[in-house]
Amino acid sequence: MMLQVSPYVQPLIEELKSEGFVVSVEKVAYELPRGGNEMLRIQKLA
Protein backbone atom coordinates (compact mmCIF):
# COMPACT_ATOMS: atom_id res chain seq x y z
CA MET A 1 0.00 0.00 0.00
CA MET A 2 1.50 3.34 -1.05
CA LEU A 3 0.28 6.52 0.62
CA GLN A 4 0.25 9.86 -1.16
CA VAL A 5 2.09 12.83 0.28
CA SER A 6 -0.24 15.59 1.43
CA PRO A 7 -0.35 18.59 -0.92
CA TYR A 8 0.40 20.76 2.14
CA VAL A 9 3.83 19.25 2.80
CA GLN A 10 5.88 20.98 0.08
CA PRO A 11 4.49 24.49 0.74
CA LEU A 12 5.12 23.93 4.47
CA ILE A 13 8.72 22.84 3.81
CA GLU A 14 9.32 25.92 1.64
CA GLU A 15 7.84 28.27 4.26
CA LEU A 16 9.88 26.76 7.08
CA LYS A 17 13.10 26.94 5.04
CA SER A 18 12.42 30.61 4.24
CA GLU A 19 12.17 31.25 7.99
CA GLY A 20 15.59 29.70 8.65
CA PHE A 21 14.68 26.14 9.54
CA VAL A 22 16.48 23.06 8.21
CA VAL A 23 13.83 20.64 6.95
CA SER A 24 14.17 17.05 5.74
CA VAL A 25 11.97 14.03 5.12
CA GLU A 26 13.44 10.93 6.74
CA LYS A 27 12.56 7.25 6.68
CA VAL A 28 11.60 5.69 10.02
CA ALA A 29 11.53 2.06 11.17
CA TYR A 30 7.79 2.12 11.96
CA GLU A 31 4.63 2.71 9.94
CA LEU A 32 1.82 4.90 11.24
CA PRO A 33 -0.53 4.47 9.43
CA ARG A 34 0.38 1.42 7.37
CA GLY A 35 2.71 2.53 4.58
CA GLY A 36 3.49 5.83 6.34
CA ASN A 37 7.16 5.34 7.09
CA GLU A 38 8.49 8.88 6.70
CA MET A 39 8.67 11.81 9.11
CA LEU A 40 9.23 15.49 8.63
CA ARG A 41 12.28 16.62 10.59
CA ILE A 42 12.43 20.33 11.40
CA GLN A 43 15.49 21.88 13.04
CA LYS A 44 16.21 25.44 14.12
CA LEU A 45 19.93 26.11 13.96
CA ALA A 46 21.29 28.51 16.54
pLDDT in tens, 13-43: 999 999 999 999 999 998 888 888 899 999 9
Mean pLDDT of 6-11: 94
Identity of the residue numbered 17 = K
Dihedral, CA of residue 28, residue 34, residue 35 and residue 39, to nearest 10: -40
pTM (global) more than 0.85 = no
